[in-house]
Structure 1
Amino acid sequence: MTEHFPLAALADLAALPARLPRYDEEAARAARDRQASLTKPPGSLGRLETLAIDMAGWRGTSRPQIRKAQALVFAGNHGICAQGVNPFPQEVTAQMVANFHAGGAAINQICAVTGADLTVIALDLDHATQDFTQSPAMTEADCLDALNRGAAAVDGAADVLLLGEMGIGNSTVAAALAAACFGGAPADWTGPGTGSDAAGVAHKAQVIARGLERHAGVSGDGAAILTTLGGREQAAICGAILAARAYRIPVLLDGFICTAAAAPLHVIDPALLDHCIASHRGAEPGHGRLLDAMAKDPVLALDLRLGEGTGAALALGLLRAALACHNGMATFAEAGVTGG
């Protein structure tokens, strides 16, 4: 663990923006100069160029490489399922975790193709959080424990971190977090998740509205929003994001649920997510709205809505391509090409 973790209290989150490492402008400038010298028209590789430059700024070197890509998928269960928001039973969470461990899920296949080391972490699946329409979803101790477990899972030797989640009911949790963090009607953020029909989506929005009304006092307090409306996997994602920042590791966020998990950190200070890259814009209706609110430009748009970190793992392939071009292309001088 780094010097910043484990956290002793959620109140410590407020001090982190001033203490965590920042973007290395000198390394980024050197990477930008290299891009300008490569055998291509300036800007012709588009987002691949900016991805390479951003990697340079966070890794602190003009020639960043991905020797180790770590993928973490956190799984949790949610008390809000007592309100009938989920078309599948909560047992599916543990069943899918077993499928991950057996290598049978989509994320296993994509990580194998793009070269990410996958770890799946089940967070007390036999103890769901509380129903947030009745009480806070977690105590501060529960939230802090999950956050610190997420931070502890990050390998400081990684060059990039991919984050994903699994948890029946967590699309409702994600919509509640997004609404609490950025406002708007619950219906603006609520989608089908694992397959709810129109009536199911409307019911989810009504449940979220009740929860937001009960906990209206948490507005503007990112730690309180996470504790009151989030789940263990959301808190663990926040911890992993913060630990990655302490190690200067860029993060590829997955879809709506993963991005919504990070939203309470944005409320604390948007700078806490400066090292995070939105891997894709998914099909869940609230995802694009959430990315816009967080000023994150997604790398891909493939109509994904699976979760599991699949979008992050796909974006890793593009990130590897960006660095291969950045590090492997010849400069105009090296190639003897006129015009550089």
Structure 2
Amino acid sequence: MTLLQETIKEIRPSDKKALEEAKLHIDNLAKPIGSLGKLETIGAKFAGITGKIINKVNKKTVVIMCADNGVCEEGVSAAPQNITTLMTYCFPKMTTGVGVLAEFTNSTLTIVDVGVKDEINHPKILSKNVMHGTNNMSKGPAMTREQAIKAIEVGIEVVDDLAKQGYDLIGTGEMGIGNTSTSTAVMAALLSLNIDEVVGMGAGLTPEQFENKKSVLKRALDINKPDNEDVIDVLCKVGGLDIAGMCGCFLGAAKNRLPIVIDGLISGVAALCAYKLKPETLDYMFASHKSEEKAVEHLFRELKINPMLDLNMRLGEGSGCPLAFNIIEASLYMVSHMASFNQVGIQEEESKKLVDIRDKNNI
């Protein structure tokens, strides 16, 4: 049995009993029912993941999967492909968008070379290269099925190691010029959507380049004919190594019963792949923000998950995750430190009435 198969087999739903107990605990805090909105649902969901009502985050990191995409030779991105290598080397300096936000929130970065075209040699970058960039998906499959599985397993291995190191909150990010194209193609294939419904402008495309991007993606889907009932088939034909790697992170987090945060579109598509492989992974996912990319509406509708923030962000890299970390930790602090009705002098009978009001009104 492969690591991927073993991981899928080991994933279980979150602890629904702990989730319900956390909801009851939160409802009995000294406030109107539901008045802290998403902070309440986040706290309860976190309890379901850990099996404990009272929780605290001790170590948090954003995993950044770095990889190149062969489809770039079709002119689908305004940026040159060597930006992937340059940015990969910048991440350890903590000066990129995700770097400064991670540092601000006392988070680390876990940087992974899963498929960069150039040779990467840096002590703070994990060398897990499956292949030096994918093939041009508009001419044939982006990679073999075995390579897609290996990239997924890289993500699983990385999260397994982080769990052993005591990390208890994970974020997902990526770096790879052209990956708005691969993520759009994967989403269109998995959800049987027309490319025109989901393709976005990406980073600074002209109208002419945008039309070319749509044409290239349509050609890739027509040539490869990915099977939307087979996630691995979709990934190997029109996906990217970064997406596959992050998919493995979501699976690994669920296996290790760790909360994991979606950044924007690209990590969201990886989350979608993990969800399609094992629906229970959704129990462990939090969505950080609503990206500016066009396709996210379809993404979050399918996952039935609501982002915490809407900040008009579209950087990628995992930059939304440190912001979500702060919100998650605020929620946990509220759950563990806020006074209950009893503690402020409201009798248990009165607090039960408030809970009954919630149940009757489906709050």
Give me the whole-angstrom Cα distance separating, in 2, the residues matched to 1:275 and 1:168: 28
Q: Structure 2: where are the runs of 5+ without partners?
A: 118-131, 352-363
Pair 1:268 & 2:274 matched: no
Deviating beyond 6 angstroms after TM superposition, the runs of 4 or more aligned structure 1 residues are none
Distance 1:321 1:289 in 2: 29
Aligned to 2:85: 94
- DSSP-derived class of the 2:182 partner: helix
AA in 2 matched with 1:145: K
What's the counterpart of residue 134 of structure 1? 139
1:149 match:
154
Any conservation in 1 of the 2:287–2:307 contact (CA below 8 Å)?
A: yes
The one-character-per-residue Cα deviations of 1:93-135 (angstroms, maximum 9, x if unpaired) are 1111121111210111111222322111122312110011112
- Inter-partner Cα distance in structure 1 for 2:155 and 2:24: 36
**Which residue identity does 2:338 align to in structure 1?**
M
Gap change, CA 1:267 and 1:235, over 3 Å in 2: same
TM-score, structure 2 length as denominator? Answer: 0.87
Aligned match of 1:292: 301
Residue in structure 1 matched with residue 51 of structure 2 by the alignment: 60
After TM superposition, list the pairs within 5 Å mapping 1:248-267 onto structure 2: 248-267=257-276
Q: Is the 8 A contact 2:192 2:228 kept in 1?
A: no
Distance in 2 (alpha carbons) for counterparts of 1:289 and 1:219: 16
Which range moved further: 249-258 or 199-208?
A: 199-208
Give me the TM-score of the superposition, normalised by structure 1.
Answer: 0.92
Structure number with greater Rg is 2
Shift of the 306–54 alpha-carbon distance from structure 1 to 2, 3 Å rule, reads same
Q: 1:188-207, aligned counterparts within 5 Å?
A: 188-207=197-216
**CA distance in structure 2 between the aligned counterparts of 1:266 and 1:198, rounded to whole angstroms:** 34
Aligned counterpart for 1:73 among listed residues 64, 71, 78: 64
> Aligned partners of 2:254, 2:2: CA distance in 1, in Å?
12
Shift, 1:62, TM fit: 1.2
CA-CA distance at 1:197 after TM superposition: 2.2
Structure-to-structure mapping, 1:193-272, within 5 angstroms: 193-272=202-281
Stretch of structure 1 that moved more, 240-249 or 284-293: 284-293
Query: 3-state DSSP class of the match of 2:205?
Result: coil
CA shift, 1:337, in A, is: 4.5
Superposition deviation, residue 5 in structure 1: 7.0
Number of residues of Structure 1 aligned to a counterpart in Structure 2: 331
Q: CA deviation at 1:32?
A: 1.1
Tell me, in whole angstroms, the C-alpha distance in 2 between the residues paired with 1:220 and 1:198.
33
* 2:292 partner SS: coil
Give the alignment partner of residue 15 of structure 2, picking from 10, 17, 24. Answer: 24
> Which position in structure 1 is the counterpart of 2:354?
none
Q: How far apart, CA to CA, are the structure 2 residues paired with 1:95 and 1:263?
A: 28
